[in-house]
């Protein structure tokens, strides 16, 4: 990340007795040296604490969808509306996310407050709308059940109470999936 370059510059101007603490939840093993260079630190001059992201409470299920992602109807996602589990549906594009939103709206119970029940989270939304979406889910608003999101939300997101994440469509590689 470009911001890491700035940390290195700031660090070089600080006195030696200042301690730098850098944390990340997304650093890939093959990118460590690049980050060390950006932070202007050398192997052996720092203490690294690395924890595995292995989670026993996560279960991966892979299912073949009955329809393609190029259409406007996604019946395999309809059960999400009635299972009472807070869910993120991860879509690779804003276009796909919007089509999923339209289909789920068409299937929704007419009594639901759709502005809360099914939320779209992507980079085209106003930041205030995306922040409100995170807030509704973080506070476990009982009406907020589904977020349809692009990677704008998914990188480093920590929203309590999410029961399911559906990766809808193809992902570029295993890192994107995880």
DSSP state string for 87-122 = EEEEESSHHHHHHHHHHHHHHS-TTS-HHHHEEEES
Per-residue pLDDT of the chain (178 residues; tens, 9 = 90+): 677 677 777 878 888 788 777 777 777 778 888 878 877 777 787 877 777 766 777 777 888 889 989 999 999 999 999 998 999 999 989 999 999 999 999 999 999 999 999 999 999 999 999 999 999 998 888 999 999 999 888 776 778 888 898 988 877 666 666 6
Q: Taking each helix axis from N to C terminus, what angle separates 32-39 and 2-13, rounded to the nearest 10 degrees?
A: 40
Distance (Å, whole) CA 160 – CA 66:
31
pTM: 0.69
Distance, CA of 92 to CA of 76 (rounded, Å): 17
């Amino acid at each position: 990340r470009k911001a890491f370059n700035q940390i290195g510059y700031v660090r070089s101007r600080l006195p030696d007795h200042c301690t730098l603490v850098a944390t990340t939840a997304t650093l890939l093993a093959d990118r460590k040296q690049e980050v060390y260079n950006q932070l202007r630190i050398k192997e052996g001059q720092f203490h690294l604490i690395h924890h595995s992201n292995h989670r026993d409470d996560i279960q991966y299920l892979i299912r073949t969808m009955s329809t393609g992602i190029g259409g406007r109807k996604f019946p395999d996602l309809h059960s999400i509306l009635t299972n009472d589990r807070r869910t993120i549906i991860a879509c690779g594009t804003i276009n796909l996310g919007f089509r999923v939103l339209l289909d789920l709206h068409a299937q929704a119970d007419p009594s639901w407050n759709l502005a809360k029940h099914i939320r779209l989270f992507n980079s085209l939304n106003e930041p205030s709308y995306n922040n409100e979406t995170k807030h509704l889910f973080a506070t476990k608003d009982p009406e907020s059940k589904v977020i349809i999101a692009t990677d704008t939300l998914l990188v480093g997101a920590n929203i309590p109470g999410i029961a399911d994440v559906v990766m809808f469509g193809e992902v570029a590689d295993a890192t994107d999936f995880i």
